Structure 1
Amino acid sequence: MKRRITFIQGSEAPFDPSQSQLTKDALLIRALDAAREERATFGFNELPSELWQVLKQCHELHIRWASEKPYNAVAPFSSRVSPGLHVFLTPIATDQPLARLCPLLKKIFSDDLKCTSPETSFTVPAILSERFASTSSSQFHSLLPSLSNLVTYIQQKACRASDAECQNRAVSILSADYVDIDYDSISHALTISGYWSKSPQGDGWTEEIKKRELGADKVEVGLLSSEPATEPEELKVGGFLAVVRENDNLKPTLFSFPSRHHPLPHDDKSSYTVSFPSPTGLHPTLQISIPRSSLKPPPAPSDATCALHTYLTLPSYIFADKYQLSTTDPLFLKSHNLVSLRAVSGETDLEAPDWVVPRWGSNLLLEVATPDHYPTQSEDSGKDWDITIPLHLRYLRPSPSGNRTVSVPWPVVFWACTAEQGTKMGTNPFDRVNLGWDGLFGPRTMFYQLDPSPSSGNTTERGRLVEEITVPVLPMKDGEEGASQARTIEFGTVAVIVFGFVWVLWKLGLVVWSSGTGGSKRAAEKRNEKKDK
């Protein structure tokens, strides 16, 4: 196993050399106010058998989990996905089913995942350009508030019972803001990355980072801070690097690299809120509110073309009408502050109830409109810029109360800007790819993320990046009485359908019989007239 630990400090909390001490055996840090990314890389021989049995059938497998709690995403870790568990899969052989994948995902993450098999539960992402797109062949999502199952799995499968350090590192995952798991068949290595925007204790990072005698082959540590970049498409970081038990001193460093993901400038940092205005009913409207003063275009290169987008991840019980959103009607688009529907994938059946939908849900990429005028912070900007997206709820199973509560993750909102020709984005040591929405753009596209801010929004439960909607359903009691009620409704429905069918046949029979009788009488009258003549 190899570990890479990176601390990123902001300009408001400069690094003090007295906060670190490198010894022969460890790196000691004290009260370090910084964001942290930790990455561990495992070889095949270090993985449980049930895990590599699944991985060897995958060309690529990328798992992204993001917390429902808001967090500060600093450069170079500024990219975002909607809250929950995202799985992106490209199998080696498309004609061989991966029967073990869903059971393994349920074991590692949650038994409640709506995952039967990749063939029936995963969706196929939209491909906007066969030439430039770099998306996986299928994807899956589920709302997952906690990674407690993953922690238990790591403790049982990767840690010895007596290894307190390994057990504690596994527990630290519970406080992570996001966790990435990546595998590809070329490297034959599994990488697990976690990001913490701040220390869980709130008073900075204080710990002793060691290289264990057994386990880690290499432990690299970076104490870095963001620096002003020379070029708009680049990020620059500087600070100190060290390899534990190999270096005697912290080595100063300063380097820059082109990056696809950028934060917006600190002074103009944009935020947004999400809500479902009441009453929601069965046709709720998702509203994204952005302060007008925060909607200035990003500091991209002068010749770049930028557009504001939002990417929605919708569970199976809520969906968008792709025919409605793909309209070119200028009045409809202007009334919702939309430009166009750029991509849609997943379950978009307009009639199916949720209990017959086999796949997890759907994704939408929308280009949204922006104001013609961008007021400054000192100006009275008036109301927020509201983007509204009409959605529809599927029929859900009955409940005793006549209502069910469903959760909808917040979408991500970002600027997408073109980069200069020849810009290479593959040299970023902190690059984060396979987010679902990034593969829908060209490889040289630059993204500027807006920050979700539930603390100032009209949310059902403040402090979460998930909205809850109360859905009216058929009231029905639980237990045997409820089952009897369901059978009564079912038999009654069948009886009404049969009665209606019989009634229609009876009416048709009367028409046919009356037509046949009348025709016979008229034929007989004509024959009698001919005889009389």
Structure 2
Amino acid sequence: MRERVTYVQKLGDSLEPSALTVEGGTIKGPEVHAVREDRLTIALNELPTELQTLVAGAQDLHIRWVSTTAYEAVSPLLARLPPGFHFFFTPGKDGIVGNKLCPLLGSIFGSDICLSPNESFTSLPKDTFSHSAAFQYFQQLETLSQFIQYAKGRLCRSTDASCSARLDALSKASSLDISYDTVQHVLRVTALWPYQRQQVHVTSHPQLRTEVGILSTDKPQTLEPHEIGISGLLTVLGQDFKPSPTMFTFASRHRDAESTFSAQFLTPTGLHPTLRLRLASSAPLNLSQHDDDNNDQDTTCVPYAYLTLPRTIFADRYQLSDLLFLASKNLTALRYMTQPVDLEAPEYVMAQWGSSVLLELSPPPPSTSSQPEKKNEREEWTAEIPLHLRYLAPAEGGYSAISVPYPAVFWACVPEHGGVEFPPNPFEKVKLGYDGLFEDGTVFWHVEPRPVGGGTSLVNVVRVPVLDLEKARWVNAGTAVAVLGGFAWVVWKLVGLYMYGGDGVEGEGEKAREKKRQ
């Protein structure tokens, strides 16, 4: 079992080695403004039995949880997903997904996690690119409280207070990633805390190799346009007596667009709400500089919005195939949507988690002004995504509230001829759902989500009209009375026909014969 704790600062920030104290298995230092990333690498035989069973039958397994609270990220820890619980899974060679998968996920993360793989999971496309997972699942999950309790019971001893304290700290984490490496047969658990003031204080545990890094982004003269530079201090607790300086570079597929966006439903929402994305700029300046540095390579960079929609709301692929309609919404095309998506089924009869949608956005053309300050000016623009609500179960008061997470917005630079290869790096993050929909050498420039009105939540809440249970009682009673009354009327008519119909028919027959004689 190995542990890595990394404090990542912004460009220009640094910490002098003299400010750190290394004593035995502990490193101490002042507060730094940084993102903290903790990574625990666990061998297969060190896992609990039920987890060994889960990962042993997987070719690919990635669990990703993202907080609903807005947070700031720094390079190279920039990859983003919509808030919630994401599960990407590819079964082993036999291709069988066990029925124990959902109950196990439920016991770890919460009882409402999926019903069964066949009912709840959706398939990801394998015909275009082979580097995507086979199945996807999404669930809105606000906290990691169930996971924290599960991990305490499996990883912490009753006398180990520090272990429980570190797991409790996950309640303030921005994201949690759990990935199984089928080559090295290890499970990597990575937690990320947002960019804020962090106290440098890490203590190692017996039989656990702990490496601590206090790093910041750097720009050495030898840095290639597709690379990110990192410099700082590294310490292996229990082995090093003082921090060692380090500097390295690596190719990174996730970059910072240095731009922001917000997402909000237009009011009134009705049953066909429209999600408006408001982006702070039409073309990130650093993306333009990146293109200038790579003018010897042909790349196409366009913005995208990747949505994970719960089953309460969906997008209509037929509506999004109308090019004129898309142009009016500042959209270019629908690039991907989960299949199939039932357009008529109410929410309460569906078992499938929902659907994912990848939309190409259409930004306004760049400024053609000859004035440099006007040419580089960031112009705000909007794009509107039409969605549709499903019929929800009846509720007291006649209204229900549904939550729709913010999408992930990014610029994707797709190489026309080959492109840069991205070997594994210390901060690598793949199998995010949308990256499997692009070519392998694609670079993603992420746009930071910002809540509307100075809030902190990256979730939009929609108030949906439903059948009022209180009024439905009168409807039920009235319907029953109407049905019984109609039934009584039919029975009364049938009884009347039986009692008087014979004479009536015979009389009619006599009149007909008399008429014929005449």
TM-score by length of 1: 0.83
- The offset of 1:411, in angstroms, is 0.3
Which aligned pairs between 1:10-25 and structure 2 lie closer than 5 A? 10-25=10-25
- The offset of 1:187, in angstroms, is 2.3
- The offset of 1:347, in angstroms, is 5.2
Aligned equivalent of 2:171: 174
After TM superposition, where is structure 1 displaced by more than 6 Å over at least 4 residues in a row?
A: 375-383, 489-496
- The offset of 1:3, in angstroms, is 0.3
Question: Are 1:347 and 1:359, in contact at CA under 8 Å, matched by a contact in 2?
Answer: no
- The offset of 1:491, in angstroms, is 6.2
Aligned equivalent of 1:389: 385
Is the aligned partner of 1:417 residue 2:408? no
CA distance in 1, matches of 2:117, 2:482: 35
Question: Are 1:124 and 1:345, in contact at CA under 8 Å, matched by a contact in 2?
Answer: yes
Q: 1:385 to 1:51 in 2, by over 3 A?
A: same
Aligned equivalent of 2:161: 164
Q: Deviations over 1:505-533 (max 9, x none)?
A: xxxxxxxxxxxxxxxxxxxxxxxxxxxxx
Is the aligned partner of 1:67 residue 2:64? no
Is the aligned partner of 1:369 residue 2:371? no
- The offset of 1:293, in angstroms, is 5.8
Question: Are 2:86 and 2:139, in contact at CA under 8 Å, matched by a contact in 1?
Answer: yes
CA distance in 2, matches of 1:494, 1:96: 50
Aligned equivalent of 1:510: none
CA distance in 2, matches of 1:410, 1:293: 19
Which aligned pairs between 1:438-449 and structure 2 lie closer than 5 A? 438-449=435-446
Question: 2:117 corresponds to which letter in structure 1?
Answer: P
Q: 1:382 to 1:170 in 2, by over 3 A?
A: closer
CA distance in 2, matches of 1:284, 1:151: 36
CA distance in 2, matches of 1:95, 1:425: 28
Is the aligned partner of 1:289 residue 2:278? yes
Aligned equivalent of 2:501: none
Question: Are 2:71 and 2:174, in contact at CA under 8 Å, matched by a contact in 1?
Answer: yes
Question: Are 1:314 and 1:362, in contact at CA under 8 Å, matched by a contact in 2?
Answer: yes
Q: Deviations over 1:130-157 (max 9, x none)?
A: 3x34111101111111101111111111
CA distance in 1, matches of 2:119, 2:25: 51
Question: Are 1:398 and 1:474, in contact at CA under 8 Å, matched by a contact in 2?
Answer: yes
CA distance in 2, matches of 1:490, 1:396: 21
SS at match of 1:87: strand
Q: 1:380 to 1:279 in 2, by over 3 A?
A: farther
Is the aligned partner of 1:450 residue 2:447? yes
Question: 1:357 corresponds to which letter in structure 2?
Answer: M
Aligned equivalent of 1:463: 456
Q: CA RMSD in A?
A: 2.7
CA distance in 2, matches of 1:155, 1:232: 44
CA distance in 2, matches of 1:431, 1:444: 14
CA distance in 2, matches of 1:293, 1:121: 38
Aligned equivalent of 1:521: none
Question: 2:274 corresponds to which letter in structure 1?
Answer: T
Is the aligned partner of 1:402 residue 2:398? yes
1:196 aligned to which of 171, 193, 196? 193
CA distance in 2, matches of 1:494, 1:280: 36
Aligned equivalent of 1:124: 123
Question: 1:53 corresponds to which letter in structure 2?
Answer: T
Which aligned pairs between 1:111-510 and structure 2 lie closer than 5 A? 111-113=111-113, 115-127=114-126, 130=128, 132-199=129-196, 202=197, 204-207=198-201, 209-213=202-206, 215-216=207-208, 218-228=209-219, 230-264=223-257, 269-292=258-281, 295-296=284-285, 297-298=287-288, 299-300=290-291, 301-302=294-295, 303-327=298-322, 329-330=323-324, 332-346=325-339, 348-374=341-367, 384-419=380-415, 421=418, 423-454=420-451, 457=452, 462-477=455-470, 488=477
Aligned equivalent of 2:104: 104
Gapped regions of structure 2 (runs ≥ 5): 491-518
Q: 1:471 to 1:78 in 2, by over 3 A?
A: same
How many residues matched? 476
- The offset of 1:29, in angstroms, is 2.3
Question: Are 1:262 and 1:448, in contact at CA under 8 Å, matched by a contact in 2?
Answer: yes
Q: 1:395 to 1:347 in 2, by over 3 A?
A: farther
CA distance in 2, matches of 1:381, 1:282: 38
Question: 1:138 corresponds to which letter in structure 2?
Answer: F
Gapped regions of structure 1 (runs ≥ 5): 503-533
- The offset of 1:453, in angstroms, is 0.8
Q: 1:95 to 1:178 in 2, by over 3 A?
A: closer
Aligned equivalent of 1:517: none
- The offset of 1:295, in angstroms, is 4.7
